[in-house]
Amino acid sequence: MVTFSPGFRGRPRSSDVRLPPGQYETYDFPVLSAGPTPRVSRDTWQFTVTTEAGTAHTWSWTDLMALPSERPTVDLHCVTKWSKFGTHWQGVSLDRLLQDVETSADYALVHSYGGYTTNLPLDDLLDGQAWIAYGYDGEDVTPEHGGPARLLVPHLYLWKSAKWVRGIQLLLEDEPGFWESAGYHDYGDPWREQRYQGD
């Protein structure tokens, strides 16, 4: 039998409509990683989109910086239950990077320096929903937070916003990534509390 101390009520529930169920607001930016932090030089950094037919589209850091950037302000939701509101980023929209890529794929497998992967439906990277982000709060994205560049897909749990991003593989069929293979949800919608397989 579980007993609680008198007056115990758990973590107070916020009335903020921006807060998904099961989440709490934090003012910090916690650092969570599955392994050591890669240190990637901008001189050697590359981002490659590979189609299901094997066609590769590659951008260097200089190429990325030459593209028009956007400055989205978004809320972040981590599967470990913290949410951070109103974060300020700078980066290149995936719409721009994928605009000349011919594909029939429905899925994407994102690859990171250091070996991390995560899967998403391709539609979730389009229509102003995702960026390759290299700036945070007016500064460069630090290595601890995924710099020099990370994927930013704020409408899904944060593990889908792969740090140290190096490429996207376009697929005809879904393929689980690192955390998804370990039991995390394939999609990860914070508003539906899709933390684990079966949620």
Q: What does the pLDDT read at residue 35? A: 75
Q: Which candidate, 152, 15, 184, 9, places its Cα nearest to that of 88?
A: 152
Cα dihedral 160, 126, 199, 21 in deg (nearest 10)? 80
Residue 1 has pLDDT above 50, yes or no: no
Decide which of 13 and 155 is more confident. Answer: 155
pLDDT tens-digit series, residues 60-115: 999 999 999 999 999 999 999 999 999 999 999 999 999 999 999 999 999 999 99
Domain residue extents for the chain? 46-192
CATH (residue range 46-192): 3.90.420.10
Coil/strand/helix, residue 108: strand
* pTM score, whole prediction: 0.89
Phi, psi (5° rounding) for residue 142? -75, 160
Least confident window among 10-19, 111-120, 126-135, 155-164: 10-19
Sign of CA dihedral 57, 187, 77, 183: negative
Amino acid at the residue 94:
L
